[in-house]
Amino acid sequence: MSFPKKFYWGGSVSSFQTEGAWNEGGKGLSIYDVRPTNEAFSDWKVAIDFYHRYKEDIALMKEMGFNFYRFSICWSRIIPNGDDEVNEEGVAFYNRVIDELLENGIEPMITLVHFDMPYHLVKEYNGFASRKVVDLFERYARVCMERFGDRVKHWMTFNEQNLHGMDLKPSNAEVIPEGMDPNQFLFQVNHNVFIAHCKAVKALRELVPDAKICGMVAYGLNYPTSSDPRANMIAALANDFSNNFHIDVFTKGQYPPFMVNYLNKHGWMPIFEEGDEELLGYTVDYMAFSYYSSHAVKAMDYANRDIREVIQEAVVKNEYLDATEWGWEIDPEGIRRVARDIYYRTCKPVFVLENGMSHRETLNENMTVEDDYRIDYHREHIRNLERAIEEDGVECLGYVTWGPIDIPSSQCEIAKRYGFVFVDRTEKEIKELKRYKKKSFNWIAKVFKSNGEDLA
């Protein structure tokens, strides 16, 4: 078995989890600069200081055999308040990063929004609750495409966009208008994000016609716990509502019938402004997904209930799987299932843009980490992805890991480490942020440089 000759191997990160330099280079306040974190955790002011250490980190990526790197642009570093002038210092920083990646043989991919936005847009407009912010996002997207599109040929609008349909926090629209049904508001905001995504797709087609753009979902794969038909139906519905709703809009250009019926039944169908249906027709070139874990759901009565509530109540521990310290069940075969399901549903190439396992770690006396568990995790996921390609005929563009150099988690918890490189800092002590290679560093380099052939 083998991967395609032009297969992408690399890593993914967000700006706020890597860059630091929160008040340098003309950057404006981001929502992450002001949003409180758990008192036991860190904050985002330094992260791993990629802003000043990007050359060192890119050299490590090259040593690991990367030929691909997905990073997000910090909106407030490009347009500080979101509605003011372009910050040329911010543009220059990302130009330096892109050029450094290309000089090291690493193809860059830009994510335009990874849950962040200028704080001014949150405070003044309630984030993506406002169509004004949708238009400002389009302007921001066009600036990035005009400045970076001559070298960047892979683009993504929103990280894990299906999460915008589950919670208001990713959209930074947490103020529900008085008297408005929270669910109606949620789906309206989610629709606004869809329109923002489609405006960016349209802009890329105009400005960088030789570039490719994708949609991305955090794919939560659901299994029934028994042969009870109710458990099987709940698992199918969970996959539809959690994953396929967004996949269908990205690839087919319209809301799927099951979602239209559900929203109309509850009175939550969002308002479509003039031109929205046409905009939804700007579909993606391929489907990207993050995959970390699967879920099991039990049988229960679900008739005449909101299926989203049923799904939450039905999730149980999968007795056949081990889990990480954070309770994420480890299911390598699931990545094959996800790749198959998306490819067969959409007939578009798929791309794994996040995969990995977290663990609490400290340096040993040899100034490394013996992380055999991480090697085992990635080996089995890569094997199953290979089976999806070789046996199931899935067209897959690449396998990209999350946080290949340790970064704080999405909750700003330094202890939750995913990387092949250990960054020496704690929640409260920054230290010198020295980088140390873990045992998995040399293993992943061997895998990537052999195009996935050497998994020993």
Distance CA 234, CA 417 (A): 33
Q: Produce one character per residue of 253-291: b if its CB has 16 or more CB atoms within 10 Å, e if not.
A: bebbeebeebbeeeebbbeeeeeeeebbebbbbbbbbbb
Per the CB < 8 A criterion, the answer to whether 250 and 287 are in contact is yes
Two tokens at 367?
């100034």
d(CA 71, CA 34): 22
Burial per residue of 177-190, b for 16 or more beta-carbon CB atoms within 10 angstroms, e otherwise: eeeeeeebbbbbbb
**Catalytic positions, please?**
160, 354
Per-residue pLDDT of the chain (456 residues; tens, 9 = 90+): 579 999 999 999 999 999 999 999 999 999 999 999 999 999 999 999 999 999 999 999 999 999 999 999 999 999 999 999 999 999 999 999 999 999 999 999 999 999 999 999 999 999 999 999 999 999 999 999 999 999 999 999 999 999 999 999 999 998 999 999 999 999 999 999 999 999 999 999 999 999 999 999 999 999 999 999 999 999 999 999 999 999 999 999 999 999 999 999 999 999 999 999 999 999 999 999 999 999 999 999 999 899 999 999 999 999 999 999 999 999 999 999 999 999 999 999 999 999 999 999 999 999 999 999 999 999 999 999 999 999 999 999 999 999 999 999 999 999 999 999 999 999 999 999 999 999 999 999 999 999 999 999
Supply the pTM of this predicted model.
0.97
Which pair of tokens denotes residue 341?
A: 């399901």
Question: Euclidean distance between the first and final Cα of the chain, in Å?
Answer: 14
Q: Delineate the domains of the chain, giving CATH numbers in brackets.
A: 8-449 (3.20.20.80)
Check residue 1 and give its pLDDT.
Answer: 54
Whether the Cβ atoms of residue 261 and residue 356 lie closer than 8 Å to each other = no
Torsion of CA 326, 330, 335, 341, to 10 degrees: -80
Q: How far apart are CA 403 and CA 422, in angstroms?
A: 11
The answer to whether the beta carbons of residues 121 and 127 sit under 8 Å apart is: yes
Question: Tokens representing 361?
Answer: 């770690």
**What is the distance between the alpha carbons of residues 196 and 330, in angstroms, rounded to a whole number?**
34
Closest residue by Cα to residue 165 from 110, 128, 199, 135: 128
- Contacts (Cβ under 8 Å, ≥6 apart) of 284: 201, 213, 214, 215, 250, 251, 348
Residue 31's closest CA among 39, 40, 18, 22? 22
Instruction: For residue 132, give Cα distances in angstroms to 126, 264, 415.
Output: 10, 26, 38
Decide if 290 contacts 216 (C-beta within 8 A): yes
**CA 185, 162, 134: angle at the middle one, nearest 5?**
55
Token readout for 416 is 């939750």
Q: How far apart are CA 30 and CA 49, in angstroms?
A: 16
Q: Return the pLDDT at 386.
A: 97
* Residues forming a β-bridge with 118: 30
Fill in the amino acid letter for 3. F
Could you give the count of Cα atoms lying within 13 Å of 425 in the half-sphere of its Cβ? 24
**CA dihedral sign, ordered 221, 226, 229, 231:** negative
Cβ-Cβ contacts under 8 Å for 429 (sequence gap 6 or more): none
Q: Are residues 139 and 197 in contact, defined by beta-carbon separation less than 8 angstroms?
A: no
pLDDT given at position 200: 98
For residue 342, the model assigns a pLDDT of 98
* DSSP conformational letter for 359: B
**CA max distance for the chain:** 64
Q: In sequence order, what DSSP letters do the residues of 140-173 get, joined into one string?
A: HHHHHHHHHTTT--EEEEETTGGGGGT-SGGGT-
